[in-house]
């Protein structure tokens, strides 16, 4: 039966809700976006650990361009609660549809993999689980606690869904005390209806603000993609909104179109424009900013966490 269901899953379209959409031309990538595939032994070792522990990674599911570099340093970002998302964001390559039941062994398996990879810092992300009463909050908390038990020195960053209409869910995750609470705002409010139709901009801002209310010492982080057609002023306003919510760390990266059925790329933002966003973001008070064409939420997350801690220490020393 399991085999039959798996086979059916493999033959279903990955994004059924996008099948009726007209094809969008896929733009040729500029030189500054090119990345090389990796064939290193460490890359293969990471791949084997992921496979042996039945893990799903956002690196693979999202077709991340940085996988060669990250996996060669054993940096894999686990995606928990299955490989199927209940939302249908227009930019995302993660499979959509009706997800399977949660795997009760997953928190332990993730913890084992984190220990085997000997990670200093781990990023745990997940699909959206609107089908669950708590949006999967307890499962995320259990995963944090399982990692803490086996790898007490490892710092933990969670990249969570928005828990829209899931009262009490955020509190469960914050109570488990991740070191970094990340929730991506993804785009400016004017593009929500086409880019992130199942989400609400101000709900996401409020979610981040609420984390700081619950635990002012917890680092908060958010990220957006550029290249959907947003204006510079809209991005600057979004930065102000995130700062009003007390967000510490901002990531900005280029949107890349996974298939011709996904949202089209309006344009490729130049490295100079990314640098200019970084300067603006620092002037608005973010403790840390990562802004480059290939920046992703979890890209260089371990080095960035060390820089984030240092930035806070410096800020405390000055004040």
- 184 near ligand SF4, judged by CB under 6 A: no
- 80 near ligand SF4, judged by CB under 6 A: no
Q: Count CA atoms within 13 Å of residue 63 on its CB side.
A: 10
- 77 near ligand SF4, judged by CB under 6 A: yes
Q: Which residue has the tokens 């947003």?
A: 230
CB of 60 to ligand SF4, least distance (A): 8
C-alpha distances in Å from residue 200, one per residue of 187, 190, 272, 312: 11, 11, 30, 30
Could you say which of 59, 85, 114, 124 contacts ligand SF4 (CB under 6 A)?
59
- 226 near ligand SF4, judged by CB under 6 A: no
Per the structure block, which two tokens stand in for 238?
């979004």
Nearest to 137 by CA among 94, 93, 181: 181
- 299 near ligand SF4, judged by CB under 6 A: yes
- 180 near ligand SF4, judged by CB under 6 A: no
- 298 near ligand SF4, judged by CB under 6 A: yes
- 296 near ligand SF4, judged by CB under 6 A: yes
Nearest to 205 by CA among 173, 166, 169, 237: 237
Nearer to ligand SF4, 132 or 288 (CB): 288
Burial class (CB in 10 A: 0-12, 13-18, 19+), 287: buried
Per the structure block, which two tokens stand in for 279?
């300067």
- Residues touching ligand SF4, count (CB under 6 A): 11
Could you say which of 49, 70, 180, 245 contacts ligand SF4 (CB under 6 A)?
70
The residues binding ligand SF4 (CB under 6 A) are 58-59, 64, 66-67, 70, 75, 77, 296, 298-299
């Amino acid at each position: 039966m399991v085999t039959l269901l798996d086979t059916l899953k493999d033959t279903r379209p990955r994004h059924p809700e996008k099948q009726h959409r007209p094809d969008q031309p896929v733009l040729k990538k500029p030189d500054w976006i090119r990345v090389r595939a990796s064939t290193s032994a460490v890359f293969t070792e990471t791949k084997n650990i992921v496979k042996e522990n039945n893990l799903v990674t956002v690196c693979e599911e999202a077709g991340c361009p940085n996988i060669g570099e990250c996996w060669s340093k054993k940096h894999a970002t686990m995606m928990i609660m299955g490989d199927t998302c209940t939302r249908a964001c227009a930019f995302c390559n993660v499979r959509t549809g009706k997800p399977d039941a949660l795997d009760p062994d997953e928190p332990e398996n993730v913890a084992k993999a984190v220990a085997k990879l000997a990670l200093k810092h781990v990023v745990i992300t997940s699909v959206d689980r609107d089908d669950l009463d708590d949006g999967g909050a307890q499962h995320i908390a259990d995963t944090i606690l399982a990692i803490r038990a086996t790898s007490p020195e490892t710092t933990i960053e969670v990249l969570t869904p928005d828990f829209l209409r899931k009262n009490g869910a955020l509190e469960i995750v914050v109570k488990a005390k991740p070191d970094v609470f990340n929730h991506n705002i993804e785009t400016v409010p004017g593009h929500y209806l086409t880019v992130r139709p199942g989400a609400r901009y101000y709900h996401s801002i409020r979610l981040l603000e609420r984390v700081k209310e619950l635990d002012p010492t917890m680092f908060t982080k958010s990220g957006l993609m550029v290249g959907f057609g947003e204006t510079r002023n809209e991005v600057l306003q979004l930065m102000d909104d995130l700062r009003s919510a007390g967000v510490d760390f901002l990531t900005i990266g280029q949107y890349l179109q996974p298939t011709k059925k996904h949202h089209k790329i309006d344009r490729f933002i130049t490295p100079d424009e990314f640098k200019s966003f970084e300067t603006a973001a620092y002037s608005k008070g973010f403790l840390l900013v990562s802004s480059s064409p290939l920046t992703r939420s979890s890209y260089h997350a371990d080095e960035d966490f060390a820089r984030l801690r240092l930035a806070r220490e410096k800020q405390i020393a000055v004040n």
